[in-house]
């Protein structure tokens, strides 16, 4: 399969189950909502060292938010249930509570599983906090120097998918970056999906473990590093001089698959040799995103071979 | 089983009649004959509901009551679910101790509307009498949940000893929120004197004029974030005429009642 002269490899991206929350941040204007969201999602590229993966999902107009103000939707994912509330609490507490004019709401109101976020944060109010139940939902009012910070007591917890990916193999670093930027721009604002790395792009894709250092849980993906072509077991075709990766986390398989479809299509442009994906042979992650199926329009999850019916 | 049960008043009532038996959740289990045998109270004497109302339908939790019901008291008492629509006005104690469902009144309601209410919705298109959402005599708590939406005015002592829930009205008489424990009273127009005396943690939102009691102290002028949320929610669910200038406006916050624990508030709207 090729799209506008770019080969789509016959392979798949292998992804894992995660736990996620959607945090709605509102503020006086979009500037301050984004300030809080940028801080909240800082240093949240990979669970390997950041303990969570988070990014801005999309901007929200005033008529899309609970309090009628401009807002930003953030998705935050962790590898397990227990650490999700810890990560949300510490990040909301340090970056949203502290940011002028913000309020914070749950973006998954239909989720059956709930995590307490506003409830533990209320103690910052030192006993001066108060609560309000509005339309059956409890909110906490925390007095702060600016005025008052409002936060919902509990947030929804969802099962998500982390580690959807595709790799852009290009003739030059400039061509790889142009294609990756085009892919990110095309995927921007798609509901239920985030790209947690800087600008949505990864230049240092990793392999599991290390050939040389026992303590490393991940190390450079030498098979795709062009400077190592001559001295390692390379996966790079001739003519490829740079590779960039797009990593996607999402609330469900379909959202990621749809984003990959749009992103890969946008990345197929002059200077790009091929598109491939990272996997571990299908033995580790339960979610497999087959590139050619997705680019043929099939974005639904499929039962895995050998999986119980 | 009918889609709806309709009770039509056979003859005008000339004195109060206790109708605590009229409850939508109870009607869901009853045949037309069983509904007709329920007892209304004329002083100490009982009278069959079927003798006072013509009944159409059975086994439904949706009930419509037609006729001049200004002397019919206690409709929807302790109701736990279902829906009652009252085509005109109704007497006192409507929705008293109700914990679920909805009662919608096209006209006015008498005294004690939603008294000791614990949940559900009591929507009154006209006005209501005294003690709406307040406590039963001798009880420590008034309303403990639910919403009372009155598009007209409300009489004295509304929301007295309220513990939870929301009372919205166009204007309110003296003593609103007296000894309020918590909850919300939202008044689109003017409040009578003595609002919030003895208030512990309750919120009184005054969009019109209010004379703040001397036992309250001014705190600041700000935009309370929960007010936007609360007013937008009420506007969306009940189609209330709430202006954007109130939703996002500046309010003066008065803390009180400082003669009690002082964690309550009167929020008086000032400007956009």
pLDDT at B171 over 90: yes
Sign of CA dihedral B255, B260, B263, B265: negative
| B11, part of any domain | no
User: ω into residue A299 within 30 of 0, thus cis?
Assistant: no
Q: Which of B224, B229, B248 sits opposite A134 (nearest CB)?
A: B229
| B147, part of any domain | yes
Sign of CA dihedral B191, B192, B194, B196: negative
Percent of chain A with pLDDT over 70: 97
Q: Which domains does chain A have, with CATH numbers?
A: 2-14+160-295 (3.30.70.520), 18-158 (3.30.70.520)
Q: What is the pLDDT of residue A306?
A: 45
CA-to-CA dists, residue A106 to A12, A154, A255, A305, B69, angstroms:
33, 7, 20, 37, 44
Taking contacts as CB-CB distances below 8 angstroms, the residues of chain A near B203 are 132
Q: Which of B232, B244, B263 sits opposite A130 (nearest CB)?
A: B263
Token pair 């300030």 in the structure block, residue: A35
ipTM over 0.85: yes
Please enumerate in sequence order all residues whose Cβ is within 8 A of that of A126, keeping only pairs 6 or more positions apart, or say none: none
Please enumerate in sequence order all residues whose Cβ is within 8 A of that of A252, keeping only pairs 6 or more positions apart, or say none: A160, A161, A192
* A68 touches B at CB < 8 Å: yes
Condensed to tens digits (0 to 9), the pLDDT of residues B187-211 reads: 999 999 999 999 999 999 999 999 9
* A66 touches B at CB < 8 Å: yes
Residue B250 DSSP code: E
Taking contacts as CB-CB distances below 8 angstroms, the residues of chain B near A149 are 225
pLDDT at A309 over 70: no
Q: Which of B184, B222, B228 sits opposite A67 (nearest CB)?
A: B228
* Chain A CA closest to residue B248: A68
Taking contacts as CB-CB distances below 8 angstroms, the residues of chain B near A139 are 226, 229
Q: Which residues are bridge partners to B62 per DSSP? A: B83
| B137, part of any domain | yes
Taking contacts as CB-CB distances below 8 angstroms, the residues of chain A near B201 are 130
- What span, in angstroms and rounded, lies between the C-alpha atoms of A96 and A34? 10
Task: Give A148's pLDDT tier (boundaries 50, 70, 90).
Answer: very high
Residue range A157-166: average pLDDT? 96
Q: What is the pLDDT of residue A298?
A: 87
pLDDT at A259 over 80: yes
Contact B230 A132 (CB under 8 A): yes
pLDDT at A304 over 70: no
Average pLDDT, chain B: 96
Taking contacts as CB-CB distances below 8 angstroms, the residues of chain A near B223 are 147
Q: What is the pLDDT of residue A110?
A: 95
Residue range A236-256: average pLDDT? 97
- What span, in angstroms and rounded, lies between the C-alpha atoms of A134 and B233? 8
Residue range B49-66: average pLDDT? 97
Q: What is the pLDDT of residue A303?
A: 54
| B43, part of any domain | no
Residue B79 DSSP code: -
Residue range B52-68: average pLDDT? 96
Phi and psi, residue B72, nearest 5° = -95, 115
Interface test with A, best of B162, B229, B253 (most A CBs within 10 A): B229
CB pairs under 8 A between A and B: 47
Residue range B248-252: average pLDDT? 97
Task: Give B2's pLDDT tier (boundaries 50, 70, 90).
Answer: confident
| B165, part of any domain | yes
Q: What is the pLDDT of residue A302?
A: 63
pLDDT at A104 over 70: yes
Taking contacts as CB-CB distances below 8 angstroms, the residues of chain A near B226 are 132, 134, 139, 141, 148, 150
Condensed to tens digits (0 to 9), the pLDDT of residues A180-233 reads: 999 999 999 999 999 999 999 999 999 989 999 999 999 999 999 999 999 999
- Here the tokens at position B36 are 């007709």
Residue range B54-74: average pLDDT? 97
What's the number of domains chain B is made of?
1
Residue range A83-90: average pLDDT? 98
* Residue numbers of the domain that contains B185: 108-271
Residue A129, min C-alpha distance to chain B (Å): 9
Residue B65, min C-alpha distance to chain A (Å): 28
Sign of CA dihedral B50, B52, B56, B62: negative
Q: What is the pLDDT of residue A283?
A: 77
Interface of B with A (CB under 8 A): 164, 184, 201, 203, 220, 222-226, 228-230, 232-233, 237, 244, 247-248, 263
Task: Give B126's pLDDT tier (boundaries 50, 70, 90).
Answer: very high
| B190, part of any domain | yes
Percent of chain A with pLDDT over 90: 93
Average pLDDT, chain A: 95
Interface test with B, best of A24, A118, A127, A134 (most B CBs within 10 A): A134
* Chain A CA closest to residue B237: A135
Taking contacts as CB-CB distances below 8 angstroms, the residues of chain A near B244 are 68
Phi and psi, residue B206, nearest 5° = -110, 105
Give the DSSP letter string of chain A: -EETTEEE-S-EEEEEEEEEEEEEEE-SSHHHHHHHHHHHTTT-S-HHHHSSEEEEEEEE-GGGSTTSS-EEEEEEEESSTTHHHHHHHHHIIIIITTSTT-EEEES-TT-SSEEESHHHHGGGGTT--EEEEETTEEEEEEE-SSSEEEEESEEE-EEEEEEEEEEEEESSHHHHHHHHHHHHHHHTT-TTEE--SGGG-BSS-EEES-SS-TT-SEEE-GGG-GGGTTTS---PPTT--EEEEEEEEESSHHHHHHHHHHHHHHH--TTEEEEE---STTSS-SEEEEHHHHHTT--S--PPTT---
DSSP 3-state of B159: coil
Cβ B17 vs Cβ B42: under 8 Å: yes
Q: Which of B220, B222, B226 sits opposite A150 (nearest CB)?
A: B226
- What span, in angstroms and rounded, lies between the C-alpha atoms of A35 and A27? 10
| B178, part of any domain | yes
| B3, part of any domain | no
């Amino acid at each position: 399969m090729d799209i506008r002269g770019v080969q789509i490899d016959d392979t798949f991206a292998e992804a894992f189950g995660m736990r996620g929350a959607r945090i709605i941040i509102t503020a006086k204007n979009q500037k301050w909502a984004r300030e809080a969201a940028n801080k909240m999602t800082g240093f949240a590229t990979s669970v390997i060292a950041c303990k969570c993966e988070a990014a801005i999902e999309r901007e929200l107009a005033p008529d899309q938010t609970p309090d009628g103000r401009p807002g930003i939707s953030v998705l935050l994912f962790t590898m397990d249930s227990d650490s999700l509330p810890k990560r949300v609490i510490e990040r909301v507490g340090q970056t949203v509570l502290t940011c002028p004019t913000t309020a914070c709401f749950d973006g998954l109101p239909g989720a059956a599983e709930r995590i307490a976020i506003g409830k533990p944060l209320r103690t910052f109010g030192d006993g001066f906090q108060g609560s309000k139940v509005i339309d059956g939902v409890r909110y906490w009012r925390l007095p702060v120097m600016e005025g008052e910070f409002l936060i919902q007591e509990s947030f929804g917890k969802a099962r998500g998918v982390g580690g959807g990916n595709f790799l852009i193999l290009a003739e030059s670093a400039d061509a790889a970056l142009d294609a990756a930027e085009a892919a990110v721009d095309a995927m921007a604002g798609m509901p239920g999906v985030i790209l947690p790395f800087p600008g949505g792009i990864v230049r240092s894709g990793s392999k599991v473990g290390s050939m040389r250092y026992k303590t490393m849980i991940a190390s450079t993906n030498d098979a795709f590093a062009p400077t190592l072509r001559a001295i390692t077991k390379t996966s790079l075709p001739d003519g490829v001089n740079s590779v960039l990766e797009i990593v996607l986390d999402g609330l469900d398989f379909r959202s990621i698959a749809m984003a990959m479809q749009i992103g890969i299509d946008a990345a197929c442009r002059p200077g790009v040799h091929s598109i491939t994906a990272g996997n571990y042979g299908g033995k580790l992650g339960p979610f497999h995103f087959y590139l050619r199926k997705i680019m043929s329009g099939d974005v639904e999850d499929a039962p895995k071979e050998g999986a119980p019916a | 089983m009918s889609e709806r049960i309709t009770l039509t008043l056979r003859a005008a009532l000339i004195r109060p009649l206790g109708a605590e038996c009229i409850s939508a959740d109870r009607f869901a289990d009853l045949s037309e004959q069983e509904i007709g045998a329920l007892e209304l109270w004329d002083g100490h004497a009982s009278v069959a509901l079927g003798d006072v109302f013509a009944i159409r339908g059975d086994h439904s939790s949706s009930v419509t009551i037609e006729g001049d019901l200004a002397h019919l008291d206690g409709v929807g008492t302790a109701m736990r679910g279902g829906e009652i629509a009252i085509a005109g006005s109704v007497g006192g104690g409507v929705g008293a101790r109700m914990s679920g469902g909805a009662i919608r009144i096209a006209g006015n309601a008498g005294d004690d509307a939603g008294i000791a209410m614990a949940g559900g919705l009591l929507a009154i298109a006209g006005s209501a009498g005294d003690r709406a959402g307040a406590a039963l005599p001798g009880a420590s708590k008034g309303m403990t949940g639910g919403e009372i939406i009155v598009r007209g005015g409300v009489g004295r002592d509304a929301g007295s000893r309220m513990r939870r829930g929301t009372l919205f009205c166009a204007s309110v008489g003296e003593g609103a929120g007296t000894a309020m424990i918590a909850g919300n009273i939202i008044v689109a127009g003017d409040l009578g004197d003595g609002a919030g005396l003895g208030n512990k943690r309750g919120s009184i939102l005054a969009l019109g004029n209010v004379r703040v009691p001397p036992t309250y102290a001014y705190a600041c002028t700000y935009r309370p974030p929960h007010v936007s949320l609360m007013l937008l929610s009420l506007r969306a669910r009940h189609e209330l005429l709430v202006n954007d200038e109130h939703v996002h406006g500046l309010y003066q916050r008065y803390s009180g009642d400082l003669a009690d624990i002082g964690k309550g508030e009167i929020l008086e709207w000032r400007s956009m």
